C-alpha cells in the first residue's frame, strides 16, 4: 500500500469518525465548561432533602449515612448542626441543603466523573481512544512532502508547548 492510498484511508476514517463523534464532542465541551465552575453555584439551584435515619447517631456516624463530610458546628438540644444541614438525634431526621445543577447538566457532568465503578467508563475510554486516533490520523491526511504537513507540525509543537506552559506555570 503506497502513501497516497494510506493517506486516503485515514482521511475517510477521520471524516466519518468525526461526524459520528460530533455530538459527543459538543456534549463534552459543554459539560467541561460547566465543570470549570463546579466550585461555584453557577447554574445551580438550592434543594432541601430530608432523610430519615436511625436516631441517636453521632456526628462521626452521620458522614457515611449521608455520604458527605459532617463536621458538627454546634448542638442545640437534640439537634446537631453542620455546614449544610442538621440532624435531630431524637427523631433521626436529617435535613440537608444541596446546590444542584439542572437534571440534564448533572447527567452530562457525569461523563467527566466516570470511574471504573460505573458504566460510563467504557464510553470514556472509547472517546479518549477516538480523540487519540484523530491526533494520529491528522498526520496521515497529508503527505509529508507537502508544505501544509510541515506547517501542521509547527502548529502541533506550538500546541504541545502551550499546554506544557499552562500545566507547569
Query: What three-state secondary structure class fits 46?
Result: strand
Query: What three-state secondary structure class fits 99?
Result: strand
- The residue that leads in pLDDT, 92 or 142, is 92
Q: What pLDDT score was predicted for residue 44? A: 96
Tell me the torsion sign for CA atoms 154, 158, 160, 164.
positive
Tell me the torsion sign for CA atoms 62, 66, 69, 75.
negative
Q: pLDDT tens digits for 22-80?
A: 988 898 889 889 999 999 999 999 999 999 999 999 988 999 999 999 999 999 999 99
Q: What pLDDT score was predicted for residue 156? A: 93
Task: Print burial letters for 75-88: b (CB count within 10 Å at least 16), e (below 16).
Answer: eeeeebebeebbbe
Q: pLDDT tens digits for 132-141?
A: 988 888 887 7
Cα 140 from Cα 150, distance rounded (Å): 12
Alpha-helix residue ranges (DSSP H) falling in the chain: 3-36, 59-66, 103-110, 121-138, 147-168
Helix axis angle for 121-138 and 3-36, nearest 10°, is 130
Amino acid at each position: 500500500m503506497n502513501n497516497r492510498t494510506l493517506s486516503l484511508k485515514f482521511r475517510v476514517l477521520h471524516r466519518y469518525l468525526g461526524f459520528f463523534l460530533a455530538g459527543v464532542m459538543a456534549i463534552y465541551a459543554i459539560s467541561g465548561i460547566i465543570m470549570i465552575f463546579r466550585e461555584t453555584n453557577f447554574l445551580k439551584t438550592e434543594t432541601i432533602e430530608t432523610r430519615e435515619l436511625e436516631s441517636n447517631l453521632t456526628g462521626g456516624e452521620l458522614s457515611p449515612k449521608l455520604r458527605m463530610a459532617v463536621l458538627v458546628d454546634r448542638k442545640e438540644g437534640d439537634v446537631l448542626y453542620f455546614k449544610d444541614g442538621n440532624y435531630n438525634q431524637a427523631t433521626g431526621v436529617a435535613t440537608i441543603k444541596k446546590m444542584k445543577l439542572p437534571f440534564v447538566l448533572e447527567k452530562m457532568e457525569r461523563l467527566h466523573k466516570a470511574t471504573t465503578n460505573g458504566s460510563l467508563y467504557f464510553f470514556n475510554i472509547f472517546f479518549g481512544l477516538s480523540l487519540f486516533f484523530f491526533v494520529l490520523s491528522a498526520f496521515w491526511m497529508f503527505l509529508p512532502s507537502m508544505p501544509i504537513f510541515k506547517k501542521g507540525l509547527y502548529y502541533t509543537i506550538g500546541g504541545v508547548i502551550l499546554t506544557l506552559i499552562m500545566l507547569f506555570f
